[in-house]
Amino acid sequence: MNAMNTLKIKLSYEYIAQICILYWRDLDFLINNEYLDERAAVEHALYIIDEDNLITNPEIMDLICLGNGKSIYPYIDKLVDKEKTQEYLVKDKVIFLILNWVYDNKANFKDPLGVIEVIYADFDYPKEIRHLIRYASVPSYMKYATSELGIEKIYENWEIYLEEQKDFYSIP
């Protein structure tokens, strides 16, 4: 998986935690690709402690007590190794999170659909979001439609995609 974060999009842990359940593998990917700062690992450890007072995992406790300038990676690596999440699900979840954030902030972008196209390229052209790409998503029956109608349809598809993904990844 070769995502690059070409647009230097920064998400916050609080934003993501409100949308879906995060696993250490998700955090590792988001931090390594600079969608999240390293402090998100500590925030997640604090969240876990807050949710489960019986934490017996020393890596989580070590993350919380980590001093400035110390690396989070030895701890995250061990936590990821202990997890049973599937790596392929991480990519799909991260794409959803990024597209959700872009949608929520679309007024701040001159060309939100262009942003999707860059994300599409960064994630090696995943078929799951191909229908959100201007140059790839106009079905043959719409080839005579105005570009305004085509754009409107892509925004509609974007909303549908986000709702479906929220149902899949949402916090129960």
Q: pLDDT tens-digit profile of 27-64?
A: 999 999 999 999 999 999 998 887 766 566 788 888 88
Whether residues 96 and 156 share a domain: the answer is: yes
For the cut 90, the answer to whether the pLDDT of residue 107 exceeds it is yes
- For the chain, what is the domain count? 2
Query: Of 82, 110, 140, which residue constitutes the final position of a domain?
Result: 82
Whether residues 159 and 95 share a domain: the answer is: yes
Residue 5 lies in a domain: no
Residue 3 lies in a domain: no
Query: Residue 1 — very low, low, confident or very high, per pLDDT cuts 50/70/90?
Result: very low
For the cut 60, the answer to whether the pLDDT of residue 143 exceeds it is no
Sequence-ordered strand ranges (E) for the chain: none
Range 8-14 average pLDDT: 97
Range 90-107 average pLDDT: 96
Q: How many CB atoms are located within 10 Å of the residue 31 CB?
A: 18
For the cut 60, the answer to whether the pLDDT of residue 146 exceeds it is no
Residue 133 lies in a domain: yes
Residue 60 lies in a domain: yes
Whether residues 164 and 91 share a domain: the answer is: yes
Note the pLDDT of residue 127: 94
Note the pLDDT of residue 87: 64
Query: Of 59, 82, 105, which residue constitutes the final position of a domain?
Result: 82
Boundaries of domain holding 155: 87-169
Whether residues 101 and 35 share a domain: the answer is: no
Give CA–CA dist 99/43, Å, rounded. Answer: 22
Whether residues 30 and 92 share a domain: the answer is: no
Q: Which residues of 144-168 are buried (b: 16+ CB within 10 A; e: fewer)?
A: eeeeeeeeebbeeebeebbeebeee
Query: Of 56, 82, 108, which residue constitutes the final position of a domain?
Result: 82
Distance of CA 97 to the CA centre of its chain: 3
Encoding tokens for residue 36? 């999240």
